[in-house]
Amino acid sequence: MRTALKRKKREVHRHQGNTGAMLFTLLLAILCGLAVYILSDISFMRPSREISLLISESAKKEEISPALLEAVILTESKFDKKAVSHVGAIGMMQLMPDTAEWISEESGLPANRLERPEENIPLGAWYINYLLKEYHNNEVLALAAYNAGRGNVDQWVKDYGWKEGFSDMNQIPFPETREFVKSVTASRDRLEAGLGLVASDWGLVTRNQKSEVRC
């Protein structure tokens, strides 16, 4: 009788162990499937070949980093040419109509249809170049000005005594601008490192990782 009970206990334990292993395998399969789905679903955050070429050409013309330009577009609109903000910023680079008109006057670039990447991206690239020159190639200040406006950045420089080499993004007063600068610089760094763009909303997800998921 005791032998039979011990045998039953061993069988129960073995069955429980098998069940646990099966559940673990099932959970792992679900997680892997979810990872593949997510990674394949973020392809909309990558520019098309046409947009990539436009970014490259615009960056070359304005003598700015194509990685920086692409990172700004990712952060501003996630490559959505139809993006319109609650304050009226338009297109991939989220240009305000008044700013775009001023850029057009200064650069000679067209600004008739800001929803068209062919107009929006060259205008934005010109403006980034202008801001970099304005702030002596200080990317933090230039990006802050792109988001918050030159007037605000000039006031911060004056009020807080920021020097030409200012780089502490945490000191930027506007939370939105602070996060914008951090997002752009992080994406730019990863692009320049050859890892691909990071979709910050999903965590550390890169272009190349899509083909590296193995389950």
| Residue positions annotated with a catalytic role | 76
Kind plus residue range of the DSSP H or E element containing 156: helix 150-160
Q: Specify whether the CB–CB gap between 114 and 90 falls below 8 A.
A: yes
DSSP labels, 119-130? HHHHHHHHHHHH
Place of tokens 């990447």: 117
Six-digit token string for 50: 């046409």
| Distance separating alpha carbons of residues 49 and 53, to the nearest angstrom | 6
For the chain, the first-to-last Cα distance in angstroms comes to: 46
Question: What is the SS3 assignment for 23?
Answer: helix
